[in-house]
Amino acid sequence: MAIEIRLDHMLLERKMTLTELAERVGITVANLSILKTGKAKAVRLSTLDAVCRELQCQPGDIIVRVDEASRS
């Protein structure tokens, strides 16, 4: 898939743990972990909004489209 989730990068930049983000957003660590590892099939806009609000970022900082040719 050409969509890449960069939640781990944002967490590192913000010096925040996945557990801390989960508590702030009100989402289970397990569900955020699924998103972080790129295994999520869909993301609710309300979830994306809450994550961006807490990380003080834009959706494009977390979800990016990567050209398949550049991944090789």
Note the CATH architecture for domain 3-71: Orthogonal Bundle (1.10)
pTM of the model: 0.85
Closest CA to 54 of 20, 30, 29: 20
What single-letter DSSP state applies at residue 17?
-
What single-letter DSSP state applies at residue 56?
T
pLDDT at 45: 96
In the chain, where the domains are located: 3-71
Whether 40 has a pLDDT exceeding 60, the answer reads yes
Residue 1 binned pLDDT confidence (cut-offs 50, 70, 90)? low
What single-letter DSSP state applies at residue 39?
-
Bridge-partner residues for 4, per DSSP? Answer: 64
Tell me: the pLDDT tens digits for 42-63? 999 999 999 999 999 999 999 9
